[in-house]
Amino acid sequence: MASLRIKKPSTRKGKKALEEREPKTIENLKKTLIMEGRKCSNDIRQALKDLNLLKKPNSRMMRRNNDVTPFEDATPLEHLAKTNDCHLFLFGSSSKKRPNNLIMGRTYDEQVLDMVEFGIDHYTALEKFKTEKISQFTKPVIIFNGYKWKLTEELRRIKSLLLDMFRIDQIDSIRLQGIEHVLSFTLTDDLTILVRSYRIQLKKSGQRTPRIELLEMGPSLDLSVRRTKIASDNLYKVAMKQPGILTVAKRKNVSRDELGNVHGRVHVGKQDINVLQTRKMKGLRKTAEEKRQEKLNKQKRNAASADASMDGDSNAEGNDDMDDNDGEE
């Protein structure tokens, strides 16, 4: 029974760390766990280093080799992801049967959700491109080329995994000078995924909109799909479910901000300021002259209304007399 006891944090730092791992309405940015297997080739090591540079500061790279086989037993990998608070992982290894092996995956509820094994057919390191690099935490423009991405459910899941792996944050708008990086994923006819990384250069065009040129800056990878482990439709649906506070039905004149606060707009009719009841103060009281003038105006309005009613009655009597005369004739 002692092993089932939940030990509460005794320090403020430990309590804060546990609060960071609790579920939130708006989740934190996903971190990526990057690790090497028992044996790795030079290409795999360099590829993991380059991908770590693209993912910084939302990545955690392990410094020692790990005797892990994710497709046979993913328990050690799930434990490391939970310990380092990472929901995405990159695992590199190399063997005689599967050389230059790269595994991408993501977890849900501390268990592996999706996992895809790629083989690196061709790789060009980042350092071999003698071009200017981008700064850290630059949000990339992710492009998927090819019509085959939507043909099968497996390819759709791979596209979702790549988007989840390399997307830093979801934004609504960005200024033109903030677009510096492009990641391109091209699916060929033989189902090879070409990964290319470009730097955006803004050139003068003589107009308000600049001319855009793409300069390849690396790394460059040609990936072939080897093995996949895709979650079931029910589990995937549960993992993709959004909190109810973020999916509320849109109501007229009611909005909700990023913190969940409700803002409403109320429309009222035209108001007469003269008849509003204000605070009773001596300075706001009507003078004797204003009271006399208001009384005279009221008497004039009553007299005018009385005259109008008398004119109406006399006109009605005249019409009745004319009708009687016509009847006698």
pLDDT tens digit sequence for 71-124: 999 899 999 998 888 899 999 999 999 999 999 999 988 889 999 999 999 999
pLDDT tens column, 184-233: 999 999 999 999 999 988 888 888 888 888 999 889 999 999 999 998 88
Residue 312: is its pLDDT beyond 60?
Answer: yes
CATH topology of domain 28-232: Rossmann fold (3.40.50)
Distance of CA 211 to the CA centre of its chain: 29
Instruction: Give the pLDDT band of residue 65 (cuts 50, 70, 90).
Output: confident
Predicted TM-score (pTM) of the model is 0.69
Per the CB < 8 A criterion, the answer to whether 94 and 101 are in contact is: yes
pLDDT averaged over every residue in the chain? 84
Burial level of 236, CB count in 10 A (0-12/13-18/19+)?
middle
Q: How confident is the model at residue 29 (pLDDT cuts 50, 70, 90)?
A: confident
Whether pLDDT at 5 is above 80: no
Q: What is the mean pLDDT of residues 244-248?
A: 68
Phi first, then psi: give them for residue 303, nearest 5 degrees.
-65, -40
